[in-house]
Amino acid sequence: MLLARTDHLRRVRSLLRSFRVVVIVGARQVGKTTLARQIEQAWRGPTHHFDCEDPRDLRRLERPMQALEPLRGLVVLDEVQRRPDLFPSLRVLADAGRARFLVLGSATGPLLRQTSESLAGRVAYYELGGLTPDEVGPARLRELWLRGGFPPSLVARSLKASNDWRREYVRSFLERDVPQLGVGVASPALYRFWTMLAHLHGQILNWSELGRSMGVSDHTVRSYTDLLASAFMVRLLPPWFANISKRQVKSPKLYLRDSGVLHTLLDIADRVQLERHPKVGASWEGFCLEAVIHRLGARREECFFWATHGGAELDLLIVRGSRRYGFEMKYTDAPATTPSMRAALADLGMERLEVIYDGDETHALDKLIRAVPMKLLWRDLAPL
């Protein structure tokens, strides 16, 4: 079953019209190659596809200038983080202007460093996440929440098959992908750490406590977290500091990016277990947060949370230029305004605050506060 990713297709094609090199980054198995194939099918002109995990293509790329310089049209380089030596050649070829290059990669840290050094001013980046509610439809919203947004997990023939796929994904990521990133972390240790982060999903991190729980230093737990973030497994949401007299939280908040992987690490196998689990509210919060960020096209550097030591808190603050937009995620069918919401509006100077909830109708809660059902997010929440 192939699910259409029309919005992503439109956005990447628009970037390709403006930039000689477009880099799509995202977790392994999230659908980067499928999206690239759809772009190739719609391309007017010749296309060429190189898979840096295919030995035949690797042999062709042993002399990159000889292989790539004669090509015209669209050139796709898949899993390019395995061949960092290609980037200097891409700079020369991009300047020549004979072809456009679509580059796919699964680890953002090394890839961004390599492209920023070689292709500064010539490249655009696009982050591809998991499937979203608009791509699967409101009728499958709860299935998407439970199984997560990885296409093979969502379209698996049964819930058991979906659970099996996610368990294998976690195992293969630890045993196959982590070593290829050049990180010498034993997979059992990283699995324990990843599971521990699943239990902290939606919480403000305390690096010292986390290090003590693992029996390692603050530096080690930060490096483990950075590794999972660079591979799109976790999101570290930084705090926003307002110029107010209240004492504000200065540590990041952590989420696992995919709700299905979160449920696998928490050993949640079905909807009944999810509803009874103490992390159900946090799971819903992270699920909605990822959907809102994608819907609004918010860049990583535009996304924050806000909290004070007095208890006021805002789940998501998106800052674009001088404009600020707030979001609260509530696993309820009857949301109401709270003192925390009013404090956030007063202290942060937001244009509006949206409460994303598990209900059926969009309606006003207060002058600048509106409740928007998750199932109607793509209809009633306009892009910025």
> Which has the closest alpha carbon to 359: 371, 345, 347?
371
Do 29 and 117 belong to one domain? Answer: yes
The answer to pTM > 0.75 is yes
**pLDDT reading at 345 higher than 90:** yes
pLDDT band at 99 (very low <50, low <70, confident <90, very high): very high
Contacts of 338 (CB under 8 A, 6+ apart): none
Give pLDDT, residue 311. 87
Q: Residues 264-285: pLDDT tens digits?
A: 999 999 999 999 999 999 999 9
Distance separating alpha carbons of residues 333 and 354, to the nearest angstrom: 15
**Do the domain assignments include residue 1?**
no
Do 114 and 174 belong to one domain? Answer: no
Do 156 and 104 belong to one domain? Answer: no
**pLDDT reading at 107 higher than 90:** no
CATH number (domain holding residue 310): 1.10.10.10
Q: Contact 322/335 with Cβ under 8 angstroms?
A: no
Do 170 and 112 belong to one domain? Answer: no
CATH number (domain holding residue 71): 3.40.50.300
Least confident range of 83-92, 126-135, 141-150, 220-229: 83-92
Do 107 and 149 belong to one domain? Answer: no
What 298-303 contacts at long range (C-beta under 8 Å, 24+ apart), as own/partner pairs, is: 298/384, 300/127, 303/237, 303/238
Do 142 and 60 belong to one domain? Answer: no
Angle at 93 between CA 87 and CA 98, to 5 degrees: 145
Give pLDDT, residue 182. 64
| Containing structural domain, residue 44 | 6-127
The enclosing H or E element of 22 equals: strand 21-25
pLDDT band at 116 (very low <50, low <70, confident <90, very high): low
Q: What's the mean pLDDT when you consider all of the chain?
A: 91
Domain boundary among 127, 155, 174: 127
Q: Which residue reads 């001088």 in tokens?
A: 322
**pLDDT reading at 205 higher than 60:** yes
Do 106 and 151 belong to one domain? Answer: no
Q: Contact 290/275 with Cβ under 8 angstroms?
A: no
Q: What are phi and psi of 148, to 5 degrees?
A: 90, 175
Number of structural domains found in the chain = 2
Q: What are phi and psi of 164, to 5 degrees?
A: -65, -40
**What is the pairing mode between strands 21-25 and 123-127?**
parallel
